[in-house]
Amino acid sequence: MNSKTLKVMILYASYGNGHYQASKAIETVFRRKGVTDIVLLDLMAQAHPLINEFTKFVYLNSFKTLPSIYGWIYNATRKMQSETALLRLINSFGTSTLLQAVTSFDPDLVIHTFPQLTLPRLLKKTGMSIPLINIITDFDLHGRWLHPEIHRYYVATDDLKQEMKDLGIPEERIMASGIPIQPDFNRIQQESSHLNNLLHKNKKTILLMAGAYGVMQGNHDICEALTSSSQYQLIVVCGRNKELYRQLNDRFGNRPDVHIYGYINNVADVMTMSDCMITKPGGITLSEAIECRLPLILYRPVPGQELNNALYLQRKGIAAIAHNVDSLMVQINSMLHDETRFQEIQHKINDLRKPEAAEVIVNDIMEQCFVTS
């Protein structure tokens, strides 16, 4: 089989944008290598659109209204094994849609960027044989990702690889590749961009990411606190949240040290201009920041994978956690005005970086014995 005849199916979910971004990064690299027969499938959205919209609504609103309950459920099920009744139920969703898609497309391999592992049981039931690959998109490991029928796992860190080995997963099935972000993410920058010309060279630049679906609370208070200091200038990215953009622009848009944007394509550009970033700890955003060697303030992480991501990066010495605006300001002042600490953080970021993860993953997939060239 050569690369032009290779057929790849990538299964993702639209709970936030991270799983889709990881899928697109992998797709981009495959296409660069001549693999063009690729299908991306949002299984739950395709199979159960009403259930999908309801669970997305519950998931996103749990961040705002019941974060402790979401965190309790996440951590209580974290070590759940693939054959438990609950996981068998969860993984039964989308079976008929997936069977139809697999039968129609006839993929040579299937990649999961979201832990909806419907396929292992389906393959066993039908007798089909397709290599299955999981790309774990957080710095934390949940039992939903694990299944004995998965041929290969790609994980964010060497620590995650060791954790999986400790659970009995053979080392040869695990690669500490990093989380895939768009290839060339940090290579192409707009050196003479309009924003760069607006920034003061003698002020520290703080990047505030409002969070997927606008779920990061306290944006107004953060902006107010940061703009009260003449030492800082602020770049705010609101993403696709038009209402948040309008509110912040109305309130802070006339301040010379505040630059407010909606959705932007040049994320690497603004990260590279910044001295630190305030964000929610989603796996993709964290990986992009690490690629840009950008120190992190993780604001009010929600219990569950967010908090676990944040705690891991805090233990590694590359991020600080803030639960309110006062502690946020203390962390920023400490990070940006202690040059020794700042340099130490950047050295520790270098230790954690996994450059070109998408390229590494695709190269490894194409070198494996189950995809011969």
What domains, with CATH codes, occur in the chain?
3-183+356-367 (3.40.50.2000), 194-352 (3.40.50.2000)
Strands 296-299 and 319-322: parallel
Question: Which pLDDT band holds residue 188 (cuts at 50, 70, 90)?
Answer: low
Confidence of residue 191 (pLDDT cuts 50, 70, 90): very low
Which tens digit of pLDDT belongs to each residue from 195-238? 777 888 899 999 999 754 455 568 889 999 999 888 999 999 99
* pLDDT band at residue 2 using 50, 70 and 90 as cut-offs: low
Which backbone phi and psi does 172 adopt, to 5 degrees? -70, -10
- Give residue 96's pLDDT: 87
Cα–Cα distance between 19 and 309 in angstroms, integer? Answer: 15
- pLDDT tens, residue by residue, 59-102: 666 666 777 888 888 899 999 888 888 888 887 888 889 999 99
> One-letter amino acid identity for 121?
R
CA distances from 93 to 33, 125, 131, 368 (A): 33, 15, 20, 30
- What is the spatial distance between Cα 26 and Cα 19, in angstroms, rounded to a whole number? 11
Cβ neighbors of 287 (< 8 A, separation 6 or more) are 156, 178, 179, 181, 357
Instruction: Average the pLDDT over 136-143 and give the result.
Output: 97
Could you read off the pLDDT of 262-273 as tens digits, one per residue? 988 888 889 999
Q: What is the mean pLDDT of the chain?
A: 89
Q: How far apart are CA 3 and CA 8, in angstroms?
A: 10
Q: What is the spatial distance between Cα 298 and Cα 319, in angstroms, rounded to a whole number?
A: 7
Q: What is the pLDDT of residues 92-122, one digit of tens each?
A: 888 889 999 999 999 999 999 999 899 999 9
What pLDDT score was predicted for residue 337?
92
User: What pLDDT is recorded for position 217?
Assistant: 64
Q: For residue 7, what pLDDT is reported?
A: 96
Instruction: Give the pTM.
Output: 0.91
Confidence of residue 3 (pLDDT cuts 50, 70, 90): low
The kind and range of the H/E element at 153 are strand 152-155
Per cent of the chain over pLDDT 70 is: 90
Question: Apex CA 241: angle with CA 237 and CA 242, to 5°?
Answer: 100
φ, ψ of residue 320 in degrees (nearest 5): -120, 150
CA 160 to chain centre: 15
How far is CA 87 from each of CA 115, 116, 147, 356, rounded to the nearest angstrom?
10, 9, 11, 33
How far is 107 from 101, CA to CA, in rounded Å?
A: 9
> Rounded mean pLDDT of 141-170?
97
The whole-number pLDDT of residue 192 equals: 40
Q: Which of 19, 346, 27, 7 has its CA nearest to residue 183?
A: 27
> Helices marked H in 278-356 — which ranges?
283-291, 305-315, 325-336, 339-352
What would the pLDDT profile of 23-48 be if each residue is shown by its tens digit? 999 999 999 999 999 999 998 777 66
Residue predicted with more confidence, 195 or 241? 241
